């Protein structure tokens, strides 16, 4: 046996282990979830989305049929001891109820000249055991079992089931459940379509009855194509036929069958039109023609083990195509965010790390270095003084600068650059979503939903990013201090340079500027161009420490690059990545890749 065959036997064999039952349940749950999501999409779309209105109903029909077929197998309603089910299907006014009565010779079903009169499936049977009826009730979960005469057209969650004495039924029907079904072609049929499909998945033999006026309707042939994977023995009945045009009608049916089905054309029974024919008279005429053919079809029934699997294999790609398309959009969104992150980092390097006038972090490290230099008589005092006066001086300076309007950001250029980069990224994404609406309706809906959420959340996203950027600046300060300590340790290894600094007034003046920078008394740019700082950096650069100082600056930049990369990834791209998950459920399917992968593995 092939691997595929073995797998199918395991998953869909009625004699299955507890593990296989779990697989059954998992696949059934997935099909139900998928059907619920598509149903929600159709409801939300309304008349605004004709593509969904035209494409999704067929997906829902095949999903409902497969779900019902799988449910039937899960309840083990297909064993050799189980009764056979025979279903009569057809469009409105085709004579479904009448055919039930012709076949049995009993007034079981209620014919009506009103289109759409039957809105519930109605079963007719010889007495069944209570246990079997309970399992049948599980198959029709959510629907009440009532007598046919008690059904109410306003309550669709019900099915009829009537028991007749076995002696009154033809002998070949004693072990058979007969099902009369609603139509599938009227405008109102959307209300009870699921019930028709449930019966289609349940029955072992199909009798399709059409009138000469409706045999060519597309809904008839779409129904026949839909149930083909179930491989049910089928009989076609053409009601109210005209003997003079019968040959042409049969030829037309044969042509249509070849267009919609791949299996051989079943036998066709014609019922000539008779005005005011009584049911009893029609039984006498039609029973001899119908009963032998039905008996033969019942004998051909193979209990249809594996029918659910065939349905799933037939329709799987169509079912998951919208899901895969949505996953592709989400994947493309994540790729766009990755590209956006790279763009932000390139701009950060250009506008800050490598900018000759903007980069200030290493200058702060030099300011820290100054506080570490032990200049006799002043180094320790400056260091202690900075710790004492930093807070009040910083506050006073901040108030003075705010009052004059000269500076509002005490953290300098870097935070301004980070804010501008995040703001630009959000604006750029919004414009892309607006200017590239999508290739199809599904993508347009998805991009529109993401765009609306991004627009409504932009201020919040930017505010949270700014807060995260402020936290980053504070958390990165130990790296600046570590760089300063590393420079000082290396300077101690070169006492000549250290003593030359201490032997001049440069270090004292520079240390004072360092205190001013720490307390907010001057800005970084003022600090950099101060003569004392220029003299000190010149001495350091021209000494043996110059190469090490350049290397320390590059190391600090690399650490800064990594920290800012993590900042954008965490505080900007992370929240942006979750936006598609918050789209209105009516605008997305919402099946995760993991759910799809798990369901696919069950096939």
Q: Report pLDDT for 388.
A: 44
- pLDDT at position 505 is 42
Single out the residue of 308, 233, 317 nearest to residue 64, CA to CA.
308
Averaged pLDDT, 335-362: 94
More confident residue, 388 or 297: 297
**Is the backbone of residue 377 left (phi > 0), alpha (psi -120 to 50) or beta?**
left
Res. 157 pLDDT band, cuts 50 70 90: very high
pLDDT for the residue numbered 527: 47
Q: Which CATH number fits domain 82-304: 1.10.3720.10, 3.40.50.460, 3.40.50.300, 3.40.50.1100?
A: 3.40.50.300
pLDDT at residue 163 is higher than 80: yes
Q: Is pLDDT above 80 for 13?
A: no
Residue of 474, 527, 476, 494 whose CA lies nearest to 366: 527
Percent of the chain residues past pLDDT 70, beyond the cut? 78
- The mean pLDDT value for 123-145 works out to 89
Confidence of residue 344 (pLDDT cuts 50, 70, 90): very high
Token duo for residue 399: 């108030």
Rounded Cα distance, 221 and 229, in Å: 14
Instruction: Report how far residue 86's alpha carbon sits from residue 233's, in angstroms, rounded to the nearest whole number.
Output: 10
Least confident of 15-29, 93-107, 291-305, 506-520: 506-520
* Long-range contacts from 161-166, C-beta under 8 angstroms, 24+ separation: 161/122, 161/123, 161/124, 161/125, 161/133, 161/136, 162/108, 162/122, 162/123, 162/124, 162/125, 163/125, 163/126, 163/127, 163/128, 164/106, 164/108, 164/124, 164/125, 164/126, 165/126, 165/127, 166/126, 166/127
Residue 352 has pLDDT above 90, yes or no: yes
Instruction: Tell me which of 6-15, 36-45, 174-183, 394-403 is least confident.
Output: 6-15
pLDDT at 87: 98
Rounded CA gap, 357 and 413, in Å?
10
Residue 588 or 290, more confident: 290
For 489-506, write each residue's pLDDT tens digit: 887 787 776 666 665 544
Q: What is the pLDDT of residues 102-118, one digit of tens each?
A: 999 888 988 876 666 78
Residue 538 confidence (pLDDT):
63
| Secondary-structure breakdown of the chain: helix, strand, coil percentages, each rounded to the nearest 5 | 70, 5, 25
Alpha helices by DSSP H, 75-108: 96-104
Encoded tokens for 389: 């006066």
- The whole-number pLDDT of residue 20 equals 63
pLDDT of residue 375: 45
pTM of the predicted model as reported, rounded to 2 decimal places: 0.75
Are 561 and 349 in contact by the 8 Å Cβ rule? The answer is yes
The predicted pLDDT at position 78 comes to 64
Domain boundaries, the chain: 82-304, 330-448+457-585
pLDDT at 224: 98
Averaged pLDDT, 542-568: 87
pLDDT in tens, 28-66: 999 999 999 998 888 877 666 777 777 888 999 999 999
Q: What pLDDT is attached to residue 364?
A: 84
Cα–Cα distance for residue pair 599/63, rounded to 1 Å: 14
- Residue 379 pLDDT class (50, 70, 90 cuts): very low
The predicted structure's pLDDT at residue 4: 35
Mean pLDDT of the chain: 82
């Amino acid at each position: 046996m092939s691997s595929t065959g073995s797998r199918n036997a395991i998953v869909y064999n009625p004699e299955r282990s507890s593990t296989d039952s779990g697989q059954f349940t998992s696949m059934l749950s997935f099909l139900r979830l998928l059907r619920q999501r598509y149903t929600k999409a159709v409801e939300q779309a309304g008349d605004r989305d004709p593509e969904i209105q035209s494409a999704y109903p067929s997906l829902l029909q095949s999903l409902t049929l497969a779900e019902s077929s799988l449910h039937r197998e899960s309840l083990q309603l297909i064993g050799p001891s189980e009764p056979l089910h025979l279903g009569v299907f057809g469009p409105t006014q085709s004579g479904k109820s009448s055919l039930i009565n012709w076949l049995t010779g009993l007034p079981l079903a209620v014919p009506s000249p009103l289109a759409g009169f039957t809105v519930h499936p109605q079963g007719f049977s010889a007495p069944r055991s209570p246990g079997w009826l309970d399992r049948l009730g599980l198959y029709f979960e959510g629907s009440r079992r009532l007598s046919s005469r008690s059904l109410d057209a306003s309550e669709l969650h019900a099915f009829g089931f009537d028991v007749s004495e076995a002696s009154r039924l033809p002998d070949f029907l004693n072990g058979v459940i007969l099902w009369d079904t609603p139509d599938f072609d009227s405008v109102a049929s959307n209300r009870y379509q699921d019930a028709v499909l449930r019966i289609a998945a349940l029955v072992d033999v199909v009798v399709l009855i059409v009138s000469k006026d409706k045999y060519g309707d597309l809904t008839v042939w779409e129904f026949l194509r839909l149930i083909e994977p179930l491989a049910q023995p089928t009989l076609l009945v053409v009601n109210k036929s005209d003997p003079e045009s019968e040959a042409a009608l049969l030829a037309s049916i044969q042509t249509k069958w070849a267009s919609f089905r791949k299996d051989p054309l079943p036998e066709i029974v014609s019922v000539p039109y008779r005005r005011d024919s009584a049911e009893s008279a029609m039984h006498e005429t039609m029973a001899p023609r119908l009963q032998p053919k039905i008996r033969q079809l019942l004998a051909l029934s193979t209990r249809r083990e594996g029918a659910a699997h065939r349905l799933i294999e037939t329709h799987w790609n169509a079912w998951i195509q919208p899901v895969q398309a949505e996953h592709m959009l989400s994947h493309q969104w994540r790729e766009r965010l990755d590209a956006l992150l790279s763009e932000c980092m390139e701009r950060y390097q250009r506008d800050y790390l490598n900018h000759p006038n903007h980069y200030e972090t290493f200058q702060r490290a030099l300011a820290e270095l100054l506080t570490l230099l032990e200049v006799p008589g002043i180094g320790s005092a400056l260091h202690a003084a900075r710790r004492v006066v930093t807070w009040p001086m910083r506050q006073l300076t901040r108030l003075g600068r705010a009052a004059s309007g000269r500076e509002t950001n005490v953290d300098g250029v870097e935070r301004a650059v980070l804010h501008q980069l995040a703001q630009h990224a959000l604006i750029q994404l919004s414009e892309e979503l607006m200017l590239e609406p999508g290739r199809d309706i599904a993508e347009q809906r998805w991009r529109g939903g993401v765009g609306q959420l991004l627009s409504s959340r932009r201020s919040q996203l930017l505010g949270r990013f700014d807060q995260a950027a402020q936290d980053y600046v504070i958390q990165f300060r130990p790296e600046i201090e570590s760089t300063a300590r590393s420079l000082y340790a290396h300077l101690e290894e070169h006492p000549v340079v250290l003593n030359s600094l201490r032997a001049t007034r440069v270090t004292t003046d520079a240390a004072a500027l360092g205190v001013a920078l720490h307390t907010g008394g001057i800005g970084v740019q003022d600090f950099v161009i101060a003569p004392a700082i220029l003299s000190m950096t010149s001495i350091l650069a021209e000494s043996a420490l110059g190469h090490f100082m350049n290397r320390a600056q590059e190391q600090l930049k690399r650490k800064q690059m990594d920290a800012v990369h993590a900042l954008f990834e965490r505080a900007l791209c992370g929240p942006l990545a979750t936006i598609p998950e918050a789209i209105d459920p009516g605008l997305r399917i919402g099946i995760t890749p993991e759910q799809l992968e798990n369901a696919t593995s069950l096939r």
